[in-house]
């Protein structure tokens, strides 16, 4: 192949041209070996943001980013290997209860997760609320735990899709995060590197999601499914509502507690339903079960306690305290739990998930820069959800704060996130659509 002019390739995409598989591979290789500067890749990302990519280009970019590093080999594990990925939302703690439940039903769940950034929480931050839990393991430890326990949840290593790590950092500071081809390549290059056979995507849509409209969420979901299937994997996507927070908690330790409640047979109805819906889809891919049979299998794993036992084994294998599954007091907690009162009586007609997510970040539960630490104990606990009746002066939520002096900074902001009206408004469905 003749030496390509990298600037000409950037210009070709800038002008709306379609890049070949070889041209895209050359760009990613050049990023890795230093011939392409970060500012040039930023220019390419901006060109993609405005010009888009064809399906063939998106597939080529995903494969090139995947091949920029190592691909985990899990072929020695006979079980069907399946993962789940969420595009991010407020109060989304589903991975923590879903992964051990699916493993308890007979599948292997190798899961490489991320940290919270912006208004959405991260699975790794929630796991690290468990005392001693290690999310940074080498690949040999990762493979061994998946084989012996059935599930392992770690962070992205430096050798898994390193091109994605570089490109995402550039997208985050150049306002190109919302490009669907770049989102697809970023998600799938990491997920396909895990050594999985199947993948279920939870594409959030609404005020608290990155995809604000149903049309945008459908476009993203279809692109993810198409590219994943083109790579030879069993892939499907659920579109789920994210206008209000999922469950009753926003914050690392309290969300971890809520996920563990699901494994113990309780937990908020929407968290349970999202877990069962995604789990049923994973079991459909791996075991060929219909929705009813899959849900029964998941519910049986909860009722028997096997899902909780798998969670205990995973926590212990990753250096954590497995006793947290039965004793939530071992999770970090704040001294203060202070109420946020309703200013008037009526029905809760809406809860601004984005505003509550940003408030939780301000309280220290999340981060606005990748290097920021988080406070695992602080957060927001909802007392009311949409459709609930509330009286004037009754708690709408509770603030988990280190000191009572911190509460006034956040109380008004949390109260303002609740819309209260005279008429009860019916809730829409949690699962909006399934795309296969």
DSSP string, 357-368: HHHHHHHTSS-S
Radius of gyration of the chain (CA): 22
Cβ-Cβ contacts under 8 Å for 66 (sequence gap 6 or more): 161, 188, 189, 192, 193
Summarize the chain as % helix, strand, coil (round to 5): 45, 15, 35
Q: How far is CA 275 from CA 125, 162, 189, 431, in A?
A: 19, 30, 24, 11
Torsion of CA 361, 118, 330, 323, to 10 degrees: 170
Q: Give the pLDDT of residue 371.
A: 73
Residue 130 near residue 256, CB atoms below 8 Å: yes
**Tens-digit pLDDT string for the chain (436 aa):** 334 699 999 999 999 999 999 999 999 999 999 999 999 999 999 999 999 999 999 999 999 999 999 989 898 999 999 999 999 899 999 999 999 999 999 999 999 888 876 677 789 999 999 999 999 999 999 999 999 999 999 998 888 899 998 998 889 788 898 899 999 999 999 999 989 999 999 999 999 998 999 999 999 999 999 999 999 999 999 999 999 999 999 999 999 999 999 999 999 999 999 999 999 999 999 999 999 999 999 999 999 999 999 999 999 999 999 999 999 999 999 999 999 999 999 999 999 999 999 999 999 998 877 677 899 999 999 999 999 999 999 999 999 999 998 889 899 999 999 999 999 999 899 999 999 9
Q: Among 72, 233, 208, 58, which Cα is nearest to 137's?
A: 72
Q: Give the pLDDT of residue 4.
A: 60
Scan for tokens 């430096």, then name that residue. Answer: 158
Q: Among 162, 153, 140, which Cα is nearest to 102's?
A: 153
CA quadruple 26, 27, 30, 36: dihedral positive or negative? Answer: positive
Residue 271 near residue 94, CB atoms below 8 Å: yes
Torsion of CA 134, 139, 140, 145, to 10 degrees: 50
Domains detected in the chain:
6-52 (1.20.970.10), 82-328 (3.40.1030.10), 334-421 (3.90.1170.30)
Q: How far is CA 307 from CA 179, 258, 265, 271, 299, in A?
A: 37, 15, 10, 16, 9
The span from the CA of 87 to the CA of 109, in Å, is 18
Residue 366 near residue 374, CB atoms below 8 Å: yes
Cβ-Cβ contacts under 8 Å for 296 (sequence gap 6 or more): none
Helix (H) or strand (E) holding 281: helix 269-287
Kindly state the tokens that stand for 314. 């995973």
Residue 7 near residue 40, CB atoms below 8 Å: yes
Cβ-Cβ contacts under 8 Å for 156 (sequence gap 6 or more): 112, 114, 165, 190
The span from the CA of 96 to the CA of 114, in Å, is 13
Torsion of CA 204, 209, 210, 215, to 10 degrees: 60
Q: Give the pLDDT of residue 159.
A: 86
Q: Is 146 exposed, middle or buried (0-12, 13-18, 19+ CB in 10 A)?
A: buried
Start-to-end CA span in the chain (Å): 38
DSSP string, 287-315: H---HHHHHHHHHHHHHTSHHHHHHHHHH
The span from the CA of 63 to the CA of 190, in Å, is 10
Q: Among 69, 23, 61, 28, which Cα is nearest to 185's?
A: 61
Q: Give the pLDDT of residue 417.
A: 98
Q: Which residues are catalytic?
A: 85, 164, 171, 186, 190
For residue 378, the 8-state DSSP code is: -
Q: Is 408 exposed, middle or buried (0-12, 13-18, 19+ CB in 10 A)?
A: exposed
The span from the CA of 47 to the CA of 41, in Å, is 10
């Amino acid at each position: 192949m003749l030496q390509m002019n990298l600037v000409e390739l950037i210009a070709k995409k800038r002008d709306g041209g379609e890049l070949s598989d070889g041209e895209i591979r050359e760009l990613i290789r050049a990023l890795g070996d230093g011939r392409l500067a970060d500012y040039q890749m930023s220019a390419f990302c901006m060109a993609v943001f405005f010009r888009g990519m064809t399906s063939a280009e998106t597939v080529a970019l995903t494969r090139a980013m995947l091949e920029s590093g190592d691909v985990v080999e899990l072929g020695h594990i006979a079980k069907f290997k399946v993962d789940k990925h969420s595009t991010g939302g407020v109060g989304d703690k589903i991975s923590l209860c879903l992964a051990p439940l699916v493993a308890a039903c007979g599948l292997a769940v190798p899961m490489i997760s991320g940290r919270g950034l912006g208004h959405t929480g991260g699975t790794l931050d929630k796991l690290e609320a468990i005392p001693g839990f290690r999310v940074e393991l080498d690949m040999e430890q990762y493979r061994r735990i998946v084989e012996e326990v059935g599930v392992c949840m770690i962070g992205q290593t430096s050798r898994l899709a390193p091109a994605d790590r570089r490109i995402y950092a550039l997208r985050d500071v150049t306002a190109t995060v919302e490009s669907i081809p770049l989102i697809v390549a970023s998600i799938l290059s990491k997920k396909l590197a895990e050594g999985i056979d199947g993948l279920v995507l939870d594409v959030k849509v609404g005020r608290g999601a990155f995809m604000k409209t149903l049309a945008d969420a459908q476009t993203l979901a279809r692109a993810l499914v198409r590219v994943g299937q083109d790579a030879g994997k069993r892939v499907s996507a659920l579109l789920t509502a994210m206008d209000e927070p999922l469950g009753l908690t926003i914050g690392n330790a309290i969300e971890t507690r809520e996920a563990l409640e699901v494994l113990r047979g309780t937990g908020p109805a929407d968290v349970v339903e999202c877990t069962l819906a995604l789990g049923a889809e994973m079991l459909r891919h791996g075991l060929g079960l219909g929705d009813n049979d899959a849900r029964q299998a998941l519910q049986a794993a909860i009722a028997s306690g096997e899902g909780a036992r798998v969670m205990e084994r995973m926590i212990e294998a990753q250096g954590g305290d497995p006793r947290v599954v039965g004793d939530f007091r071992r999770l970090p907690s704040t001294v203060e739990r202070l109420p946020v009162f309703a200013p008037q009586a009526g029905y809760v007609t809406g809860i601004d998930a984005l505003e509550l997510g940003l408030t939780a970040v301000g309280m220290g539960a999340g981060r606005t820069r990748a290097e920021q630490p988080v406070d695992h104990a602080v957060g927001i606990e909802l007392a009311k959800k949409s459709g609930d009746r509330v009286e004037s002066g009754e708690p709408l939520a509770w603030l988990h704060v280190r000191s009572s002096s911190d509460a006034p900074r956040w109380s008004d902001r949390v109260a303002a996130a609740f819309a209260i009206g005279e008429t009860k408004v019916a809730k829409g469905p949690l699962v909006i659509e399934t795309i296969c």
